[in-house]
């Protein structure tokens, strides 16, 4: 979707859906091979040992919360596929939430995202909502780099520390 017309040195490979570990204890929603040698994906490969990018899709009606981020963090290891992952959920921005309880759940996810990075600066979890994915698709359709949004998210996370 984002990489089909990029040269291989800039792109991620075809996704492997429902990828499991050897013991089959863990099932990752999507794993994408990262062979990039330049650009954003090459930087994630270098800084986070990201030979692969793990994506967890939270496609349920309620907002993402602290537990979802904490549980996802166990997939990101110094061995295996590396320490870079994305959680895609319906909503990840507490500013757009209608109720206080919804706001608190989303904020707890963001707080856990910060905790994960604070405790392990070589581990990066990016939270994306539906609106972010639409923005990335529109950016790509406009001929621009959709990874700019990911760079912005990483900078925002680090600048709030």
Any domain includes 102: yes
pLDDT at 1: 46
pLDDT at 101: 67
Any domain includes 1: no
Structurally, the chain folds into a number of domains equal to 1
Q: Is the pLDDT of residue 30 over 80?
A: yes
Any domain includes 148: yes
- Nearest-angstrom CA–CA distance, 3 and 58: 22
- Nearest-angstrom CA–CA distance, 33 and 150: 17
Of residues 41, 32, 47, the one with CA closest to residue 88 = 32
Res. 79 pLDDT band, cuts 50 70 90? confident
Of residues 130, 35, 27, the one with CA closest to residue 71 = 27
Any domain includes 129: yes
pLDDT at 44: 94
Any domain includes 50: yes
> pTM for this one?
0.83
Any domain includes 81: yes
Residue with tokens 């291989």: 8
Containing domain of residue 98, as a range? 12-159
Any domain includes 3: no
Compute the average pLDDT of residues 26-46: 86
Any domain includes 2: no
pLDDT at 147: 93
- Nearest-angstrom CA–CA distance, 128 and 93: 9
């Amino acid at each position: 979707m984002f990489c089909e017309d990029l040269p291989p040195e800039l792109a991620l490979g075809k996704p492997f859906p429902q990828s499991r570990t050897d013991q089959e204890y863990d099932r990752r929603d999507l794993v994408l091979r990262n062979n990039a040698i330049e650009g954003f994906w090459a930087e994630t490969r270098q800084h986070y040992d990201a030979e692969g990018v793990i994506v967890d899709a939270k496609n349920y009606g309620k907002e993402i919360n602290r537990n979802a981020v904490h549980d996802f963090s166990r997939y990101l290891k110094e061995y295996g596929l590396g320490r870079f992952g994305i959680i895609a959920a319906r909503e990840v921005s507490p500013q757009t939430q209608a109720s206080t309880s919804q706001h608190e759940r989303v904020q707890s996810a963001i707080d856990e995202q910060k905790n994960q990075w604070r405790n392990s600066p070589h581990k990066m979890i990016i939270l994306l909502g539906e609106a972010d994915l639409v923005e990335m698709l529109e950016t790509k359709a406009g001929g621009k780099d959709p990874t700019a949004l990911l760079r912005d998210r990483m900078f925002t996370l680090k600048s709030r520390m």
